[in-house]
Amino acid sequence: MGETRTLLLLRHAKSSWDDTAVEDFDRGLAPRGERAAAAVGVWLRQQGLRPDLALCSPAERTARTLAIVLDQCARGDGSTPAIRYDRELYHADGEQIAERIAEGGGAHRCVLVVGHHPGLAETALRLARGPRLPRARIEEKFPTGGLARLCFEGAWHELGPGTADIESFIVPKELM
């Protein structure tokens, strides 16, 4: 058996629709989204989940979500994860996201992916094995600020359909 790896799939927090002239890619977070991102970061810290690598869509709302989450789950030693902004994650489907993780995970033990709907839900469902409760919740809805935690044994390049277990799925309204 290989080393246990943790994959965190985070949908960006609630975006702002205050200015309808702003392009989709450039939309920021609503105040509720900022609070939700902070709550997710606190939850990660409380769970002892600190990503070594963050793969993030470069859209404004995903980048801001990532910044808030990392600020709240910062390591006591001042270290931060490696961050890779990847334009391909902006409109990626589940298969494409899984490929980016497998290609980019390297030696990292915990990878956080911050992206969009429906790609993140597709990724979680594609990688998950078994009909466990978190899977049913993800199938029902993967809301803004939702976070799926998956674990598997092996190297990132071995990550594929049905190779991971969904350990938890949280949504901001459960944390606030």
- In whole angstroms, give the CA distance from residue 36 to residue 171: 9
Q: Which of 77-91, 100-114, 115-129 has the lowest mean pLDDT?
A: 77-91
Contact (Cβ atoms closer than 8 angstroms) between residue 142 and residue 120: yes
What integer pLDDT is reported at residue 120 of this predicted model?
Answer: 97
Q: Residue 142: pLDDT above 90? A: yes
What integer pLDDT is reported at residue 130 of this predicted model?
Answer: 73
Q: In what order do the strands lie in the sheet with 165-170?
A: 82-85, 53-56, 110-115, 4-11, 147-153, 165-170
Residue type, 103: E
Reference 114, options 23, 5, 4, 15; nearest CA is: 15
- In whole angstroms, give the CA distance from residue 163 to residue 126: 9
What integer pLDDT is reported at residue 133 of this predicted model?
Answer: 75
pLDDT over 90 percentage in the chain:
84
What integer pLDDT is reported at residue 1 of this predicted model?
Answer: 59
What integer pLDDT is reported at residue 25 of this predicted model?
Answer: 96
Q: Which CATH class is domain 4-175?
A: alpha beta
Beta strand 82-85 with 110-115 is unpaired
